[in-house]
Structure 1
């Protein structure tokens, strides 16, 4: 297990990626940040990325289809299909790269990335702070795709760290605005 500030990563099962971050915000607000389109568009994605397009249908079988734009203007589309939603405790969804029409595609920079992964996000609150745990696993992956996923854990940690940094800034700003 590796720990950096309030960020922890570990492997739950061989090949799985687990990352945990505690944020200084109540769980109800963190849940809204994760499940409301207008909030997601303000923080979701690696540091420096923006989200110019987003559709969200939060229900089992519903889809979160989004475009992330890199600082140099490269667009990447992604798609989640929600499997389980337990407000405000857990979101379970498949994650895929996508095209603008919502079709599943290969990772634009890694042809051996799994077509589908499964992400479970859990949210627990203690003394006004919320711990977010993301458990991410390749599903229906070939041996080569699983190896690509396994070998990508450090890059995933960096990407999620930046995403969590943006979430924390969004939450702090939102709480500041609510106090005014």
Structure 2
């Protein structure tokens, strides 16, 4: 019997048109509102959401401490798709090993995150795929963090409409 390990894949239905949901993923001011789990905040040293653009961010977690990330936008196809890398870093933007960032040693040094936006009448189905094993994402809390952030995004979209 073979057991295939599956990568993180989450789908969520938002009560807002696709263009508005896509904008919430690409507007730095909107990202600051929702792109961190409950009880945490995010800051951006810089962010340029465009093909070849990059970001350097930090999620400030009062329990687990800071988590610095750098990344590059590989694809920005409004309002259909975003593809970006995520690399654990330090405050200066230098890459760090997974263990040094508080992740398991086998955590990928570089994740690729693909987000698709599919219109369904007046709603938007968002599918996120990350190149990390779902099992590992659940162990570290990354999977649960996405669910919490999607709840925050839902609230933002309700307030925006």
Alignment TM class, shorter chain as reference: 0.7 to 0.9
Query: Is residue 78–residue 96 contact of structure 1 (8 Å, CA) maintained in 2?
Result: yes
Alignment of 1:71-82 (within 5 A): 71-72=62-63, 74-82=65-73
Q: 1: distance between equivalents of 2:134 and 2:155?
A: 29
Change (3 A) 1:131 1:54: farther
Provide, for residues 44-88 of structure 1, a one-character-per-residue CA deviation record: whole Å limited to 9, x for no partner: 022221013342111222112111111348221112211111111
Tell me which stretches of 4 or more aligned residues in structure 1 moved more than 2 Å.
153-157
How far did 1:121 drift?
A: 0.2
Counterpart selection for 2:59 from 64, 68, 81:
68
Counterpart selection for 1:164 from 127, 150, 155:
150
Query: Is residue 18–residue 119 contact of structure 2 (8 Å, CA) maintained in 1?
Result: yes
Bigger RCO of structures 1 and 2 (CA < 8 A, at least 6 apart): 2
**Matched positions, count:** 153
- Find the counterpart in structure 2 of residue 131 from structure 1: 125
**Superposition RMSD in Å:** 1.8
- Find the counterpart in structure 2 of residue 105 from structure 1: 96
Q: 2: distance between equivalents of 1:53 and 1:157?
A: 22
Is 2:131 the counterpart of 1:152?
no
The answer for unaligned runs of 5 or more in structure 2 is none
TM-score, structure 1 normalization: 0.77
Give the SS at the match of 1:172.
Answer: helix
Change (3 A) 1:136 1:102: same
The answer for unaligned runs of 5 or more in structure 1 is 1-12, 139-148, 176-180
Query: Is residue 18–residue 117 contact of structure 2 (8 Å, CA) maintained in 1?
Result: yes
